[in-house]
Amino acid sequence: MGRFHAEGLDTRDACAPGGAPGGREYSRIVIEDRLWQAVLGRIAGLTERGFELRARAMAELAQIEGYDWCGVYRLEGEDLALDAFVGEPTEHTRIPVGIGVCGTAVAKDSNQVVRDVRELENYLSCSVQTRSEIVVLIKDSEGRTLGQIDIDGHRVGSFDSSDEAFLAELGRLLAERWE
């Protein structure tokens, strides 16, 4: 069984028995791309703006296996404020810039992909189950940070550069209709 599940998508769609060129890894990449393009297409086709759009986007992300907590934080001065999210409630509704993975992303002006959060000294634990985290900045057309997409995974190494590229594209869609 593959990592990704969505109506009409299954790892069996990507290659026949015996594997396609590249084998299992090729199959995973094809499924990721198909799923992510479908998610981006659905979000792009929505008419909502602002919080409603961000809430719909997080609900879409929460359907992806391994995306165990999905949220958006808005940048408000020197703090990040929790916005739309899907998952267990968190006590971290405001995070100072520079603190934790989320605050570090803003302070360094760079996305963060953390393989194992237990190896970080500056980590803000939202759940004892969280093992990996990815934070992707959302920027307006002039490059100013509006906020970020924050995803937690319950497995070590849940995220990689392909997740980062997908979430960056989603961030561009959200920035276009930020309110």
CATH of the domain at 143: 3.30.450.40
Query: How many domains in the chain?
Result: 1
Structural domain contains residue 110: yes
The Cα diameter of the chain in Å comes to 54
Structural domain contains residue 147: yes
What is the pTM (predicted TM-score) of this model?
A: 0.83
Structural domain contains residue 126: yes
- Return the pLDDT at 95: 96
Structural domain contains residue 124: yes
- Kindly state the average pLDDT of the residues 131-140: 95
Mean of the per-residue pLDDT values of the chain: 85
- The DSSP secondary structure of 27-51, one letter per residue, reads HHHHHHHHHHHHHHHHHHT----HH
Structural domain contains residue 143: yes
Q: Is 17 helix (H, G, I), strand (E, B) or coil?
A: coil
Structural domain contains residue 41: no
- The whole domain housing 97 covers 68-176
pLDDT in tens, 62-85: 999 899 999 999 999 999 999 999
- Return the pLDDT at 165: 94
pLDDT band of 51, cuts 50, 70, 90: very high
Structural domain contains residue 60: no
Structural domain contains residue 90: yes
Which residues make Cβ contacts (< 8 Å) with residue 40, sequence separation at least 6? 166, 169, 170, 173
- Kindly state the average pLDDT of the residues 17-44: 71
- The alpha-helical segments, DSSP class H, found in the chain are 23-44, 50-61, 100-108, 161-176
| Contact between 173 and 56 (Cβ < 8 Å) | no
| Contact between 61 and 43 (Cβ < 8 Å) | no
